[in-house]
Chain A
Amino acid sequence: MLTQYRQAIDTHRQRIFSFAHYSLRTREDAEDVTQEVFIKLWQHWQKFDHGKLGGWLMRVAHNAVIDHVRKHKNASQIDDYAEVDAQGQEHDVARERDSQAFQQGLLSAIKSLDDPFRAIIILRDIQGASYAEIRETLDMSESQVKVYLHRGRRKLRANPQLRQLFDANVAQAAESQAG
């Protein structure tokens, strides 16, 4: 059992932690949620269908994130984006997106989305989960998932800070081209 449990942690820790980190404000919050999820996995090891482990874990993580957001709604915390920036530097992003400010604005915009828009964008666009997996995790139909995904993306595009940063980057790119 212990070996299987540790294998499950190794397999799913990135997804759980990423989901929590992109949903919550600080790394410590994400670590708390990750710990909570895996402790629940240990406590319920005998009780659930191990064929659906991934979906079960994501459901627990989603619930834990919602609880965490509720508990810390009024807490003033400093956003922790340094980690994301450091790990994101390995990726070759386009010019506008290469701006640190744009990425920070994007992370902030994702975190500020309400549930389930935030959860669906993280699961689908960042983690690449299928509609079926998201449906199972969030207990909604696939058509609902698609509707929420598109609405969530539109909400992101409606974020004035992101729009402003994008416009600035485009203007800068045009200037450098002209120059």
Chain B
Amino acid sequence: MNSNSDSQCYFVQLQIDSYLDGELGSTQKDSFMAHVQACQDCARELHFAQTLHDAVLELPLLDCEESALEPIHRLTEGKQVDAAETPRSLWQRLTDLFALTPGYARYAMTAAAVAVLAVMLSPYLQDQTQGPQVANTPVQAGVPPEYSPEDVQQALQELALAIDYLNDISERTEVMIGDRFLITPLQDSLNASFERARSRRQDRLQDDPI
């Protein structure tokens, strides 16, 4: 095989893939086929290339077993379960409840909750302010109240102020109930109120010579 023939074979074999893909023009294709029919080496190369190409084309698409996708199904089902079935905390439920409640009802509920808490906490706070001796004193019928009506009125006014304060806070933050905004200010307010009432009573006792 001379060098001219070698270079022809080289170029023809370079064109094999274009021929297999049907990308050769008619002139190129005629020239290509003419050479292949005349050259045994190139005919053999074309036969090999054609065989290989067809074999690759006929390789099937494969599918994985369903079990291989199980982790993916579990992942998606897990997300569903998380979203649908995870129990919500009490705080989340309360927040949702308040979010769905009209504004006026929110304030009413807040005020009612504060009043209930004030009633529940007042004996405890009273015991704290009066000390253990007073707490251990038996209550007798007919004993006059420890606080004057003015003191009680003052305490109620301060309680109302505390409620307003709490309402402002809950309006701003959309958090209606919580230790941070409710219990502590209420406790402080009531403590201050009782403290003032006690100091006033002591002042009165000191001023009274009898």
Residues of A127-171 whose CB lies within 8 A of B: 127, 149-150, 153-154, 156-157, 162-163, 166, 170
The interface residues of chain B lying within 8 Å CB-to-CB of A157 are 45, 48-49, 52
A9 to B64, CA, bound (A): 11
A96 touches B62 (CB 8 A): no
The interface residues of chain B lying within 8 Å CB-to-CB of A117 are none
At the interface, yes or no: B51 with Cβ under 8 Å from chain A?
yes
A21 touches B62 (CB 8 A): yes
At the interface, yes or no: B68 with Cβ under 8 Å from chain A?
yes
At the interface, yes or no: B69 with Cβ under 8 Å from chain A?
yes
The interface residues of chain A lying within 8 Å CB-to-CB of B57 are 125-126
A20 to B76, CA, bound (A): 23
Please tell me which one of the listed residues B48, B55, B72, B80 contacts residue A39 in the complex, with CB atoms under 8 A apart.
B72
B71 touches A125 (CB 8 A): no
Please tell me which one of the listed residues A42, A97, A125 contacts residue B72 in the complex, with CB atoms under 8 A apart.
A42
B54 touches A97 (CB 8 A): yes
A153 touches B53 (CB 8 A): yes
Please tell me which one of the listed residues B47, B59, B69 contacts residue A88 in the complex, with CB atoms under 8 A apart.
B59
At the interface, yes or no: A35 with Cβ under 8 Å from chain B?
yes
At the interface, yes or no: B56 with Cβ under 8 Å from chain A?
yes
Residues of B9-57 whose CB lies within 8 A of A: 17-18, 45, 47-49, 51-57
A102 to B71, CA, bound (A): 36
Instruction: Enumerate the 6 nearest inter-chain pairs by beta-carbon distance, A residue then B residue, closest first.
Output: A31-B68, A17-B64, A150-B17, A97-B55, A125-B56, A18-B62
Chain A nearest CB from B32 CB (Å) reads: 15
At the interface, yes or no: A83 with Cβ under 8 Å from chain B?
yes
The interface residues of chain B lying within 8 Å CB-to-CB of A22 are 59, 62
